[in-house]
Structure 1
Amino acid sequence: MASPIDQLSSDTVLTLAPDSSSAKAAQKLARPAQWPTLARDGEVLWGECQGSGAHPYLVGVDARSAEIASKCSCPSRKFPCKHALGLLLLHAAGAGTWSGSPPPADLAKWLDGRVARAEKAASPPSDVPADPAAQARAQQKTQAARDRKRTSGLEDLELWLSDLVREGLQAARARPYGDWDRQAARLVDAQLGGVARLVRQIPALLHDESGEALTAHLGQLWLLTQGWRVRDTLSSVEHADLLTALGTPLDRASLPPATPQVWQTLGSVQEEDGRLTVRRTWLLGEQQQLALLMDFAPLGQALPAPLAPDRPFTAAVAYAPSAVPQRAILQGEVMAAAAPLPQPGGTLTELQASYAAALALNPWLERIGAFVGPAYLTLDPPQLCDVAGHAVPLHARVEQGDLWNLLARAETQVQTYFGEWDGQSFLPVGAIPVDAATAESTEAGVPA
């Protein structure tokens, strides 16, 4: 059986890059002449990359679990950096002369630390509160104070929304950007970060002539104010969805232990949201269920090590409470698995129906993950089409170069695409070729 690190192709390595510039720089570094030392110790790769300085950079990659981590002596704050990506590209291509030497002391210390942290995370907490009753009273007091702030903030928002609608669209367009920022800042002070983010999104919707997107967005904000008023009548999962929409962080410690099973990474999306870098990673479970992992980091700081795409692993994945369970966390150790999981297909009609059903359960849901295939992409206009003749627009984040890359990888064949659907556009996250029998049976529906 092939080692997990031996299953990493060059294309898979490039998907780990934090941005396109890192991917391009790594490809330039994937030349053995720039690496005086290349070594492998089990599932650990390490080497020395000669840069412009007198001393080469010491680079290490830990692939002992599904979370591929890297360490480099270069000053870059990107993870993985171009040197770590270059090392992986060299290994994937089978280029250079590799020794079986163990890593030097600096890298060995880092590797031992990763093992220790993983063992600590897997072990149950041993601390027992000295006085559970006192701790519960303190938590209730804190929660009551937080609820008072939120109530005040949402009452102010309700009045602000009423004034905004009464004044009309033209008046809203004439408002300076400072108005939106000030309202968002007041909501942040009221511990309503999720609502503040929705307010900051309003200016981008003002110039739609139909006003439909703005009306729907304002309706979502108004529904938050009304949902808070009747929060005591909501079910537990509805209440959890309301708190999530308001911006309440996920309490990871409160999630019950999950049973380990096989999962596979479908891909990830990374973007900036205010002062944060956010990464959404989608997983497919052995029961064909989807799970969404969320990672956050302040701008300029590194996100946690990513999971390798298309690489199966065994782990316990616990879902956050929701009427539409998607958000999840990894619990305990992540172990590499051997066999990849079969991936389902789907039509655009099923996509729309799934989204409508999910939105009926959680009106603040921003997106769902979905498979569409057999399907194909078109350039003009940029859209995803299924073989039944239906089409949806691609997300604005899909740039022309990215679209050409997706088309080139498809090689004129229909594929099954996995991506995010927000009710308006589809953002491709990953794609797999459709098997030959399915492709032949649907070929008549695909334009030449």
Structure 2
Amino acid sequence: MSPILDQLTADIALALAPDSSSAKAAQKLARPSGWPTLARDGDVLWGECQGSGAHPYLVGVDARSAEIASKCSCPSRKFPCKHALGLLLLHAARVGEWQASSPPPDLARWLGGRVARAEKAAQPPDDQPADPTAQAKAQAKAQAARDRKRSAGLEDLEVWLSDLVREGLQAARARPYGDWDRQAARLVDAQLAGAARQVRQLPELLHEGRADPGGEALTAHLGQLWLLTQGWRVRDTLGAAERADLLTALGAPLDRASLPPAAPQVWQALGSVQEEEGKLNVRRTWLLGEGQPGEEPRLALLLDFAPAGQALPLPLAPQQPFTAAVAYAPSAHAQRAILQGEAAVAATPLPLPGGTLAELQERYAAALALNPWLERIGAFVGPAYLHLDPPQLCDAEGHAVPLSARVEQADLWVMLAQAETQMRTYFGEWDGVTFLPIGAVSTEVGRPGAAGTLHEPGVPA
């Protein structure tokens, strides 16, 4: 039997919801009276949920790996849908009349297809190029063409930035939004999607209502863009790791196939953040790894992308340890990573490391010294407590950091209720200015070397 299903809780099930409305709808469906059939077949749950139509929806959940997948006959484009979440909640609550039964043919075909795809992905490619020399020449030619486009695009960006600074901030505030969009579009055409995204962020920094009267945030942002142009000029003098960071900041895609195989280790998902970037939905999932013997635990960041209007892949179950090969992308500050192959469920949670607010900026500065285009780091901080007005994370020594504007007031109240009167250790993202909480653990189990349960903000503990 699957440890995921045997250890499933309502918190874990709700954390898989693609949005808050799906979570609320699933809670309403988590009543046995609406399910004519509830069944489990090993590591697979399935059932029939009676909707408003004549025929019930057929729902299946595959928990044979750490990446829980679902399928439903309903028309929803969300994954998992409210029916799959409702099925998980019913199983977590151990309510309803569950039977041991194989899934019907439609779900069996889906489950078999998942197995076949996993086996195919695990097989090494057997098709070797007919002429490796010719292929290498073609790749070098294509790379030279990309570099020429990028050089032209960054030269154009350098001139544009010089004009922007020369005209002054007041003139920049009067520019129509079309000016920023046109410059971003030129950078996209030059295969510089990362630089284009930073240009699209400029109007937010120019807005007069922003709490940046001295223009420090705008100046820092323009400095990062300028540093991209200068880094490209001297790219041939950079080391392999620094060059990789430069290409990542410019928007070059990660070549997953080029990453060497990693050794399997125990990991644990700490939580995730989902946001929209232009026409993409992006999810950042943070992992904690046990590290090598004698080493401190390591953090890894997984990125998932999907076009707007399409669902992201199902997230890893939060708090659930798993064994997997996690390979880090080349970087002077190793953080971005990918999963190689399947993840197998592990039983023992990892000990959570500690950290203090006083050390937070120092750790971020050390990371920036290695990668000047780094946007955020993951960090454990505590013991600390939340302050509502202004929204801050504070500790007993008098240190405080502002919370991200992305934290809703309602989420703050939920986190305060979870904390009760206890100091807690929080895990979240720090961008050098604000802290975005992703999870929290009470100080009794959050001290270095102790294991604990990390709760996501907004999800009842």
Same fold (TM over 0.5): yes
Report the AA paired with residue 283 of structure 1.
L
1:260 maps onto 2:264 in alignment: yes
Match of 1:294 among 289, 303, 306: 303
Report the AA paired with residue 240 of structure 1.
A
Q: Report the Cα distance in structure 2 between the residues aligned to 1:116 and 1:403, rounded to whole angstroms.
A: 44
Q: Report the Cα distance in structure 2 between the residues aligned to 1:357 and 1:426, rounded to whole angstroms.
A: 17
Report the AA paired with residue 177 of structure 2.
Y
User: What is the aligned partner in structure 1 of residue 355 from structure 2?
Assistant: 346
Aligned partners of 2:352 and 2:446 also within 8 Å: no
Moved more, 248-257 or 372-381: 372-381
Matches within 5 A, 1:399-438: 399-435=408-444
Match of 1:360 among 356, 369, 372: 369
User: What is the aligned partner in structure 1 of residue 315 from structure 2?
Assistant: 306
Of all paired residues, the percent bearing the same amino acid is 80
Q: Report the Cα distance in structure 1 between the residues aligned to 2:258 and 2:25, rounded to whole angstroms.
A: 42
Matches within 5 A, 1:165-176: 165-176=165-176
Q: How many angstroms does 1:403 deviate by?
A: 1.2
Q: Report the Cα distance in structure 1 between the residues aligned to 2:359 and 2:7, rounded to whole angstroms.
A: 33
TM score, norm. by length of structure 1: 0.96
What is the SS of the residue equivalent to 2:355? coil
Q: How many angstroms does 1:398 deviate by?
A: 0.4
Q: How many angstroms does 1:436 deviate by?
A: 6.8
Aligned partners of 2:3 and 2:345 also within 8 Å: no
1:198 maps onto 2:202 in alignment: no
User: What is the aligned partner in structure 2 of residue 387 from structure 1?
Assistant: 396
Match of 2:325 among 316, 338, 352: 316
User: What is the aligned partner in structure 1 of residue 229 from structure 2?
Assistant: 225
Aligned partners of 1:394 and 1:426 also within 8 Å: yes
Q: How many angstroms does 1:349 deviate by?
A: 1.5
Decide whether aligned partners of structure 1 residues 125 and 209 sit closer, same or farther in structure 2, where only a CA change above 3 A counts: same
Report the AA paired with residue 144 of structure 2.
A
1:39-91 CA distance string (max 9 Å, x none): 11111111111111111111111111110111111111111111111111111
Q: How many angstroms does 1:166 deviate by?
A: 0.4
CA RMSD of aligned residues (A): 1.4
TM score, norm. by length of structure 2: 0.93
Q: Report the Cα distance in structure 1 between the residues aligned to 2:342 and 2:75, rounded to whole angstroms.
A: 30
Report the AA paired with residue 259 of structure 1.
A
Decide whether aligned partners of structure 1 residues 438 and 182 sit closer, same or farther in structure 2, where only a CA change above 3 A counts: closer
Decide whether aligned partners of structure 1 residues 160 and 392 sit closer, same or farther in structure 2, where only a CA change above 3 A counts: same
1:346-405 CA distance string (max 9 Å, x none): 101111111000001111000000001212212111111123221111111100111111
1:276 maps onto 2:280 in alignment: yes
Decide whether aligned partners of structure 1 residues 76 and 353 sit closer, same or farther in structure 2, where only a CA change above 3 A counts: same
Aligned partners of 1:38 and 1:48 also within 8 Å: yes
Aligned partners of 1:265 and 1:311 also within 8 Å: yes
Match of 1:214 among 215, 218, 230: 218
Report the AA paired with residue 147 of structure 1.
D
1:86 maps onto 2:82 in alignment: no
Moved more, 53-62 or 384-393: 384-393
Report the AA paired with residue 39 of structure 1.
A
Q: Report the Cα distance in structure 2 between the residues aligned to 1:211 and 1:344, rounded to whole angstroms.
A: 36
Q: How many angstroms does 1:265 deviate by?
A: 0.4
Structure 1 gap ranges (5+): 440-448
User: What is the aligned partner in structure 1 of residue 39 from structure 2?
Assistant: 39
Q: Report the Cα distance in structure 2 between the residues aligned to 1:180 and 1:437, rounded to whole angstroms.
A: 45
What is the SS of the residue equivalent to 1:435? helix
Q: Report the Cα distance in structure 2 between the residues aligned to 1:12 and 1:401, rounded to whole angstroms.
A: 20
**Runs (4+) off by over 3 Å:** 436-439
Q: How many angstroms does 1:4 deviate by?
A: 2.3
What is the SS of the residue equivalent to 1:364? coil
User: What is the aligned partner in structure 2 of residue 442 from structure 1?
Assistant: none
Match of 1:238 among 237, 242, 253: 242
Matches within 5 A, 1:51-130: 51-130=51-130
Corresponding residue pairs, total: 439
Moved more, 36-45 or 406-415: 406-415
Q: How many angstroms does 1:338 deviate by?
A: 0.6
Q: Report the Cα distance in structure 2 between the residues aligned to 1:273 and 1:128, rounded to whole angstroms.
A: 37
Structure 2 gap ranges (5+): 292-296, 449-461
Report the AA paired with residue 315 of structure 1.
A
1:144 maps onto 2:144 in alignment: yes
Q: Report the Cα distance in structure 2 between the residues aligned to 1:283 and 1:112, rounded to whole angstroms.
A: 29
Q: How many angstroms does 1:340 deviate by?
A: 0.4
Q: Report the Cα distance in structure 2 between the residues aligned to 1:12 and 1:372, rounded to whole angstroms.
A: 23
What is the SS of the residue equivalent to 2:384? strand
Report the AA paired with residue 241 of structure 1.
D
Aligned partners of 1:372 and 1:386 also within 8 Å: no
Q: Report the Cα distance in structure 1 between the residues aligned to 2:396 and 2:133, rounded to whole angstroms.
A: 61
Report the AA paired with residue 110 of structure 2.
W
Q: Report the Cα distance in structure 1 between the residues aligned to 2:301 and 2:409, rounded to whole angstroms.
A: 27
Q: How many angstroms does 1:437 deviate by?
A: 10
Matches within 5 A, 1:156-171: 156-171=156-171
